[in-house]
Each structure stands twice: as C-alpha cells, then as structure tokens.
A = this chain, B = another copy of it.
Amino acid sequence: METGQREDQRTATERRRHELLEAAERVVLRDGPEASMNAIAAEAGITKPILYRHFGDKSGLYRALARRHTDALLATLRAALDSPGDRRDRVEATLHAYLSAIETRPQVYRFLMHPAETPAADGEKGFDVGRHSAPLLRRMGEDLGEVIAERLDLGPDGPLVARVWGHGIVGMMYAAGDWWLGERPCSRDQLVRMLADVLWGRLGAVDDRAGSQGF
C-alpha cells in the first residue's frame, strides 16, 4: 500500500537523520563547535553533500542539534519551577537544576551557549542581523518571564516586568554559572544560596564596610 510505504520512507529518513545527528553530536562533543562538516560526514561514514541534503546548512545542522538539548533543558527547568515548597525553594531548585545540567555535561553546555556561528558571505538564513549567538539564553529568559507573569501579581505593567525579570534572572544564572564552571570556587549549594540571596535583596540590605566610602 502507498501510505504505509510513505510512512516507512518517512520514518526511515527520520531515523537516518537521527543517526546523522548522533554522529554530529559525537564529533561536536569531541572537537568542539568548530568541527568541520567533513569531519562530521566522515564520522557518519558518508560524505558532505548528504549532510547538506538533510540539514541544508551548517547552521541548520547545529540548530537541529541544539534544539534537542535546549528542549530537554527547558523541560527540566520548568519541572524545577513547579517543585514543591515556597517560592525561594523553587527558585533554588531551578538554579540547582540549571547548574547541575551544565556541570554534568559541560561540553553540551559550551556548544549550546557558544555556538560561534560563521555566516561568512550571504547571511540569508534565519538570523536577522547580528543575531548569531545564544538563542538558548533568549528562550530561557522568555520561558521564565512567562512563568513569572502567570504566577506573580506585578501590577499594571506586569507582563513587561515579568519579561525583564525573566531575562535578567536568566542572565544572572548564566554568567555566574559560566564563571563558576570555569573556576569552581565553591560548591553548587553555596553558589545557589548566594545567588538566591541577591534575588532576595541582600545587596540592598547589607551594611557598608567600615572605612569604605560607602556603596
């Protein structure tokens, strides 16, 4: 029959695509984001044009590769946001979830956060102008903003405030996490607590240091 045939074809090509993605992932995790299409094709046991037939573009491949991980990460963050406890518990759980993710798979994290796209000549594909990096950060910011808008009573400008906070808090998590991942100056628990402290206003509450000109 025909639909069955088509179905088989579809699943077959999707399976193939999946295989290629796995090969690409292996190479990218081994060689970093600057892995060449040749290398990826070789790892998959084929040659370049097939990759281009499947993904059209290097950034297409990378986007497909990234989407899976971003989706997974965002799902775990959403789950952490719904964890039991009071608000601070939830925030800390979310920070923990994020840091745990980047800690256990730093290579994936580096790939997602620092894709280092090189549009080179044309610049037609998707990316509008200079928008070439870190869509993960944006998506996390938007997601958190949504959750905040849903759950908190922020007055007339609520939606705007929620989005600003979403992006801001995500950025705090990102930069602190990136730095922490490189230097490992303390335990994850400590880091989470210190970041939550900032969000709970300790920066505004703590005393000036004796003898300083004040801050």
Segment touching B, from A49-57, A59-67, A156-164: A156-164
CA distance A182 to B34 in the complex (A): 27
Majority DSSP secondary structure for residues of A touching B: helix
Q: Mark A160-203, 1 if CB is under 8 A from B, else 0.
A: 11011101111111111011101001100011001101111111
Is A72 engaged at the interface, CB distance under 8 Å to the other chain? Answer: no
What is the total number of residues of chain A having a CB less than 8 Å from a CB of chain B? Answer: 74
Q: Sample 25 A-B pairs with CB under 8 A, ordered by A number.
A: A88-B204, A107-B130, A147-B215, A160-B190, A160-B194, A161-B197, A163-B179, A164-B180, A164-B185, A164-B191, A164-B194, A165-B194, A165-B198, A168-B173, A168-B175, A168-B194, A170-B175, A171-B174, A171-B176, A171-B178, A174-B175, A199-B201, A200-B203, A200-B204, A201-B201
Interface residues of A (CB under 8 A from B): 32, 34, 81-82, 87-88, 90-91, 107, 110, 114, 116-120, 130-133, 137-138, 141, 147-148, 150-154, 157, 160-161, 163-165, 167-176, 178-180, 182, 185-186, 190-191, 194-195, 197-210, 212-215
